[in-house]
Structure 1
Amino acid sequence: MKKDSRFIPKLIAFVFLLVMAIIWVVPLAWGIVTSFKSEAEVATVGFKFLPVQWVTTNYTELLFDNAATPLLRWFMNSMIIAVSQTVLVLVVVSLAAFAYSRLKFRGRNAMFVFLMATMMFPSVVNLIPLYKIIDTFGWVNNYLAAIVPGAAAVFNIFLVRQFMVNIPIEFDEAARIDGAGDFKIFYKVILPLLRPVLMVVALFTFTAAWNDFLWPSIVFNDIEMMPITPGLQLLQGMYQAQPAHLMAGALVAIVPTFILYLFAQKYFLQSMALSSGVKG
């Protein structure tokens, strides 16, 4: 009876997860095989999962033979923006979290509460004043317009701070006895223990920067400077009746985030416990 009572919930969970996996995988598989079909086949053959003839012309035309929609240029723009913003966020967030969790100064808790309160406001309300600032600095159609505004993500500061709070304060005290200052404690003691949570912050930041559509659409109007996500909108306008080309462009766009998740998943799982990683 005990085995039966345990088997049924596991079976239900398995069936549910299987259905969810199918719902997620089927559209992705459909997009992949469609990108290897010719436009004539997509328009005339009708519903057929696998291509009658596998072709790579959709990719070669988008990547190498199309000056109107420079997909490779957009790809490199997105890579520059996403990588630069990720590095900047890691520096700013780790230092800010260290200050809010380790340093003692007047108004620290009030400042942190105020910082958390800003999360209640949707980011869209900042678009107009943020654009005014970017325009004043002369950053329109500049990589800095997409890199700098996302440097101090409040949620990332909160995440790293909560992780850092669980690191025993005795580590700091032992380092101070040896003559270490605040920066040396941060760099030599705290930073190595933050690797799991910083990997997750990097994962979130890179993915958000890569997939961002609204803000780059506002600050970039030069086709050569556009990242790949808003660039795909132009691709849709260029190939309204060519879904195979659209699928090829979309699949090229998801490759970096897919690889990132593939190699960083273990850090993602580690950080969810918000533990310091200290072994007894």
Structure 2
Amino acid sequence: MVPDPTAILGGAAFLGASGALVYAGALAGVVRNSIRPERKTLGWALGRGFPSEPTAWGLPAREWIHEFNGAQCPVFEIGDEDPAAPTAIVLHGFGRSRYDALSRLGPILPYARRFLLPDLPGHGDAHGRSTRLGTDEDQFVASLAAAHSTGPLLLVGHSLGATVAVHGATLNIIAPRVTGVLALAPYERLATPMGARLDLHAMPRTALLGPTMRVLSLLGVHERSTREAAARARCPIAVIAGTADLIAPIEEARAIAAAAKRGHFAAITHARHDDFHTMGRNEMIAALAWITHSAPG
């Protein structure tokens, strides 16, 4: 019996259309999860055993909203109320929140008198616009600092927050006040964590990464080089990375530190991307001490 060519073509067309729909659905899902990540808020912190109140470190605390380009972002203000006091702005990573930053605050406490822990746009309890994945979050940090502080600034960040801190240190509006940056698990460009997360979810990197980045670009998300920003920054930049980090390769973190005019690098053996609330305390203290001694004045 001779196969019916029409039936064969029809079946092939059906399979092709089905495959295209599956691919389009996967691409749309990756893009959506990138710009509107799952929210990690109070319940998440309680479930992890993380501090759930900004007063957890025994300092007075307040909470308020900072507005930026269509986003309303909650901020924990901890410690001294004087805006002229040395202030650390502590930034969380992708898909996390100010509660995650709160869990890492311990080693930083001796190095400032005032601490601002915001939810970045599109994260935590922030309302309004979605995340831009580092495209303009440095401007968010600058607007926060300009509106709510007048004294010296220490910028601390993890992952996405680390890249934002490095870029923020180059902005003229706050650069003269930035005494240093502590970057935990930074990456060079956005494609690095995007590709790594595809791998971790067993999704085809080759088929999805390029199209995802192109769609994100159409939505206003643009890649920038963290290494080039580190080279432009005038302040000391300390970088810490884990040797078992599958999201932000240690080689990229090392290159970011090497690019800085005044750079410091430390590796934490066996540390993964999200281990900085339980590992790296001594490395953070040493890095902050180095920043203090390297900063002018």
Query: Common fold, TM-score beyond 0.5?
Result: no
Larger % of strand: which? Answer: 2
Give the structure with higher Rg (CA). Answer: 1
Greater share of helix: 1
Q: TM-score, normalised by structure 1?
A: 0.27
Report the TM-score when normalising by structure 2. 0.26
Higher RCO, 1 vs 2 (CA within 8 Å, ≥6 residues apart): 1
